[in-house]
Amino acid sequence: MSRGRPLPSTTALRVLMAVAERGSTSAAADSTNLTQSAVSKQLLALEQLIGSPAFVRTPRGMILTEVGTIYLEHARTALKAMEDAALQVARLKPGPQVLRLQVPPIFGDRWLLPRFAEFTEAHPEIEVQFTTFVSATQSEAPDGIFRFLVAPLPGERTQYLFGHDVLMVSAPSYWQKNGVPGTIEQLADGVMLEHPQTELHWRYFAASSGRPDLAVRHITRFGYYTMVIRAALAGQGMALVPRGLMIDDLAAGRLVNPGGFGYRSDYGYWFARPDKASVSESMRIFEEWLLSVAVGMRD
């Protein structure tokens, strides 16, 4: 019997996903707990294995090739299947209660995970497993889901966290270079950073300010909202960001909101769980902790 083609490691697949989401090996290193050198080696090994580049290196970041896009789609499916299997096995074993939470990458990166150590230190008996999306074919549904939407979905019990208060921000270096705006017209003479599929766009801000006809001078669009915030932190332009997602960056001065420009968005972050599902003690404890932390973000 002939051996099949060698397959990439799970580490290589996670690196592929991280680089695709964040746009660089240095940013991917932050989310994979690897060094930048290790990330680059994993990516190089993957590209040698598949015999083709997975990314095109550009001044604006690393962009998936057609081959990379195919591998990314299947990498997500493969890793999800492994996570599902691990969760089913874990639930068969006696021991700590397992909570499976679906978390959008930007929410996990900018808000939840920086605060999650507090929960694990207080409740080491509760095992929490994070996933970023749910496939249509998986058998294990998450116990709770963080959503970014306008209103709760039918069949779910939801708690509003934050998100309606949206601010126009960038790094101090951007405002120093372009001048601190005093009017919306001066603000419109800048560079706007946007993600097409996230409803945080200049047109909503302008309309809420009574100037729906006012266009911004230039818009740079990114495939991931995480890249929008990364670009804002790098001083490449200004972005509309829910205050709760960047409260740490505002406090540290990494992002600045001159003039208090912003608007009230219909969208917000919610925590949801199936309405008819029984509530475990672990879920009750997690929800209690989550709401106590989020109360300071309310807008």
- Mark whether 192 and 123 lie in a shared domain: no
Q: Do residues 165 and 172 make contact, with C-beta atoms less than 8 angstroms apart?
A: no
**Rounded to a whole number, what is the largest CA-CA distance in the chain?**
73
- Mark whether 113 and 232 lie in a shared domain: no
| Average pLDDT value for residue range 177-203 | 94
Query: Is residue 42 a part of any domain in this protein?
Result: yes
Distance CA(285)–CA(14), nearest Å, equals 30
Q: Of 5-9, 91-95, 260-264, which range is least confident?
A: 91-95
Structural domain harbouring 49: 10-76
Say if residue 299's pLDDT is above 80. Answer: no
- Mark whether 235 and 279 lie in a shared domain: no
Query: Is residue 127 a part of any domain in this protein?
Result: yes
Question: How many Cα atoms within 13 Å fall on the side-chain side of residue 130?
Answer: 11
Share of the chain above pLDDT 90, in %: 52
Residue with tokens 């919610």: 270
Query: Is residue 209 a part of any domain in this protein?
Result: yes
pTM (two decimals): 0.68
Query: In whole numbers, what is the pLDDT of the chain averaged over residues?
Result: 87
**Is residue 94 packed enough to be buried (19+ CB in 10 Å), middle (13-18) or exposed (0-12)?**
exposed
What CATH number does residue 26 fall under?
1.10.10.10
Position 250 scores a pLDDT of 95
Query: Is residue 122 a part of any domain in this protein?
Result: yes
Distance CA(268)–CA(274), nearest Å, equals 19
Query: Is residue 95 a part of any domain in this protein?
Result: no
Please list, in sequence order, all residues whose beta carbon lies within 8 angstroms of the beta carbon of residue 118, skipping any fewer than 6 positions away.
289, 293
Tens of pLDDT, residues 205-253: 999 999 999 999 999 999 889 899 999 999 999 999 999 999 999 999 9
- Mark whether 123 and 255 lie in a shared domain: no
- Mark whether 145 and 195 lie in a shared domain: no
- Lookup: tokens for 171: 């790094």
Query: Is residue 129 a part of any domain in this protein?
Result: yes
Position 276 scores a pLDDT of 79
Position 278 scores a pLDDT of 80
Say if residue 1's pLDDT is above 70. Answer: no
- Mark whether 149 and 282 lie in a shared domain: yes
Position 82 scores a pLDDT of 74
Say if residue 91's pLDDT is above 80. Answer: no
Position 67 scores a pLDDT of 87
- Mark whether 200 and 281 lie in a shared domain: no
- Mark whether 252 and 124 lie in a shared domain: no
Q: How far is CA 110 from CA 7, 128, 168, 230, in A?
A: 32, 18, 17, 11
What CATH number does residue 258 fall under?
3.40.190.10
Position 5 scores a pLDDT of 67
Other C-beta atoms within 10 Å of 217: how many?
Answer: 10
- Mark whether 135 and 170 lie in a shared domain: no
Count of structural domains, the chain: 3
- Mark whether 183 and 219 lie in a shared domain: yes
3-state SS, the chain, equals: CCCCCCCCCHHHHHHHHHHHHHCCHHHHHHHHCCCHHHHHHHHHHHHHHHCCCCEEEECCEEEECHHHHHHHHHHHHHHHHHHHHHHHHHHHCCCCEEEEEECCHHHHHHHHHHHHHHHHHHCCCEEEEEECCCCCCCCCCCCEEEEEECCCCCCEEEEEEECCEEEEEECHHHHHHHCCCCCHHHHCCCEEEECCCCCCCHHHHHHHCCCCCCCCCEEEECCCHHHHHHHHHCCCCEEEEEHHHHHHHHHHCCCECHHHCEEECCCEEEEEEECCCCCCHHHHHHHHHHHHHHHHHCC
The pLDDT confidence band at residue 298, using thresholds 50, 70 and 90, is low
The pLDDT confidence band at residue 175, using thresholds 50, 70 and 90, is very high
- Mark whether 38 and 181 lie in a shared domain: no
- Mark whether 211 and 289 lie in a shared domain: no
Q: Of 211-225, 250-264, 273-287, which range is least confident?
A: 273-287
| Average pLDDT value for residue range 54-63 | 87
Q: How far is CA 258 from CA 19, 38, 88, 124, in A?
A: 32, 39, 50, 42
Tens of pLDDT, residues 102-129: 999 889 989 999 999 999 999 998 999 8
Say if residue 189's pLDDT is above 50. Answer: yes
Tens of pLDDT, residues 146-173: 999 998 889 899 999 999 999 999 999 9
CA–centroid distance for 122 within its chain: 25
The pLDDT confidence band at residue 89, using thresholds 50, 70 and 90, is low
The pLDDT confidence band at residue 12, using thresholds 50, 70 and 90, is confident
Distance CA(76)–CA(17), nearest Å, equals 8
The pLDDT confidence band at residue 4, using thresholds 50, 70 and 90, is low
Q: What are phi and psi of 34, to 5 degrees?
A: -120, 160
Query: Is residue 91 a part of any domain in this protein?
Result: no
Query: Is residue 112 a part of any domain in this protein?
Result: yes
